[in-house]
Amino acid sequence: MGWDFQSTDTPNLYYAGTITHGIDKRLSSGGFIHGFRYTARSLAWLLAARNHGIRWPSFTIPLHGVATSIMKRMNEMSGPYQMFYVLVDVYIRWDNDNVEVLYNVPHGMLHRIHELLGESYKEGEEERKHWDMIVVRLEYGAHYSKVGGDPFTRDRVELDPFLAHTCNFIHPVLYHFTAAPLPVEIRTKKLLGYNHRMHLSENLYTDFGTIRNHLTPLTHFISSVWSGQDLTHFNCEDCLLSYLTTNTVAEMCKRPPIIVAQKSDNEDLGRNGVINTSPKLLSKLSPTLKTLTDLL
The residues near 9 (Cβ < 8 Å, ≥ 6 apart) are none
Rounded CA gap, 250 and 75, in Å?
Answer: 27
Of the candidates 119, 133, 112, 128, the one whose C-alpha atom is nearest the C-alpha of residue 184 is: 112
| Tens of each residue's pLDDT in the chain, 296 residues | 888 888 888 888 988 888 888 787 777 777 788 888 888 898 889 888 888 888 899 999 888 888 888 988 999 888 888 888 889 999 998 877 788 999 999 988 888 888 888 775 555 554 446 788 999 999 888 767 666 666 667 767 777 778 888 888 889 999 999 888 888 888 788 888 888 999 998 888 888 888 888 888 888 898 888 866 666 666 667 777 777 888 777 666 666 544 433 333 333 333 333 444 444 444 554 454 445 445 44
Angle between helices 279-295 and 236-246 (to 10 degrees): 10
Q: Alpha helices, DSSP H only, in 25-162?
A: 33-52, 66-74, 78-82, 113-116
* Rounded CA separation 176/136 (Å): 9
Q: What does the pLDDT read at residue 189?
A: 80
Q: Are 263 and 281 in contact (CB under 8 A)?
A: no
Contact 81, 103 (CB under 8 A): no
Q: In sequence order, what are the residues at sequence separation of 6 or more whose Cβ sits closer than 8 angstroms to the Cβ of residue 145?
A: none
- pLDDT for position 209: 84
pTM: 0.76
Q: What are phi and psi of 199, to 5 degrees?
A: -95, 140
Q: Which pairing describes strands 130-139 and 171-179: parallel, antiparallel, or unpaired?
A: antiparallel
DSSP H or E stretch at residue 236: helix 236-246
Quick check: helix, strand or coil at residue 248? coil
Residue 60: strand pairing partners: 100
* Calpha distance 31→18 (Å, rounded): 4
CA 234 to CA 121: how far, in whole Å?
A: 42
The backbone torsions φ and ψ at residue 82, rounded to the nearest 5 degrees and listed phi first, read: -75, -35
pLDDT in the model for residue 173: 93
Indicate the Cα dihedral angle 260, 266, 272, 274, nearest 10°. Answer: 20
Query: Could you give the CA distance from residue 95 to residue 120 in angstroms, rounded to a whole number?
Result: 20
Query: Hey, what amino acid is at 269?
Result: L
- What sign results for the dihedral spanned by CA atoms 92, 141, 77, 116? positive
pLDDT of residue 68: 83
Q: Across the strands, what pairs with 92?
A: 100, 133
